[in-house]
Amino acid sequence: MSDSFDAFSDDFFVNVDLQTSLPLPESRETILQFCEACQKQFVDMSTFYRRDTGEFVLEGDRDAGSYRWMELEARRLSAGYFNPPEIEQALFQHRWILDRCTYYLGVSHLDVESLDVVFGYNLDFQGNRDAVVAEALLADSPLAGLAEEAGLVPLAFEPSFIVALDRECYLQARLNLETRGNSYQIRTGNYDDEPISVYFTVRSYPAPGKKFDMRQAFDCQVAHAQDLAQRIVIPRIIQPIVAAIASSQ
C-alpha cells in the first residue's frame, strides 16, 4: 500500500461518516437507484440487504479480506474500504459517494451536521490486550505507576482524546483505542481472537455563516489524517503496541 499506512497493522481501513441533521430518504426507488449507481461504479459491492434495525447495506465479500461497504442509516451515510490495495482507491470511493449523495439522496450543505474521515488499524493479539496497550503507551508516564504496581492487572485501558486542529474548533482529531477485553477473560485466561483497534478520526463541523463544501472538507481532512498518521499515530501509537505484542509472545 502506498505511504505504508498498513505496514505495521494486520488490517487497515479507511471510512467516511456523514451525519445529517434531517433524515435521509427511505423510499424504495431512491435507495435502489443510489445503490445501483454505486454498484455500477464499484462492481465488487454485490450484496445488498436491510438489517432488522433498519439500515440499508451494500457491500462486497467480507470473506475476501479486502472489501468495500456502504451503509445508510436514518441520519447517517457511512462507507469504508477494508484493507484497500492502495489508499487512493478508498479515497476515490469516498469522494465518489459524497459527490453522488447530493443528487441521489438530496443531501444539502445545509443538512450536514458533521463529516468524519477515519483511518483504522487492527492489531491481532490473543491475550490481555489491555495490558499490552498499557505497557506500550504508559511507559515512563505519571500514570504508569498504577499499571506497574505488583499484583495489579490492567483490565480496561482504552485511551481516547480529542484535539482541535483550528482555533474555532470546527476541525478536530480524535484518537481512540478499543481492546475488547473483559474481566471474564482475565479470570479464566480464555482470551478471544478480537484485535486491538486504533481509530484515528478527523472530524469537520460546518462553520456558522459559511457554506459547507463536502469535497473540500473531505480533502482537507484526508490531508490532516495522512500527515498526523505518518508523523504521530503510526510511529508513536501503532509501532509501540506492535513492539509490546512481540515482546509478550
Confidence of residue 248 (pLDDT cuts 50, 70, 90): confident
Q: What is the mean pLDDT of residues 160-174?
A: 97
**Hey, what domains does the chain have and what are their CATH numbers?**
2-248 (3.30.160.110)
CA 216/CA 152 separation, integer angstroms: 49
Lowest mean pLDDT among 2-6, 11-15, 52-56, 168-172: 2-6
| pLDDT for the residue numbered 1 | 38
CA 226/CA 99 separation, integer angstroms: 21
* DSSP result, 127-162: S-HHHHHHHHHHTTSTTHHHHHSTT--------EEE
Positive or negative, the CA dihedral 42, 46, 50, 52 is: negative
State pLDDT tens for residues 176-222. 999 999 999 999 989 999 999 999 999 999 999 899 999 999 999 99
State pLDDT tens for residues 76-109. 999 999 999 999 999 999 999 999 999 999 999 9
Average pLDDT of the chain to the nearest whole number: 94
Q: Scanning the structure block, which residue is given the C-alpha cell 493479539?
A: 125
Strand boundaries in the chain, DSSP class E: 11-20, 47-50, 56-59, 67-72, 76-82, 112-123, 160-164, 171-178, 196-204
Residue 3 clears pLDDT 70, i.e. is over it: no
Residue 2 clears pLDDT 50, i.e. is over it: no
| pLDDT for the residue numbered 45 | 97
- Cα-based angle 69, 222, 57 (whole degrees, multiple of 5): 15
Q: Distance of alpha carbon 174 from its chain centroid, rounded?
A: 10
- Cα-based angle 28, 32, 33 (whole degrees, multiple of 5): 115
CA 239/CA 217 separation, integer angstroms: 29
State pLDDT tens for residues 11-45. 999 999 999 999 999 999 999 999 999 999 999 99
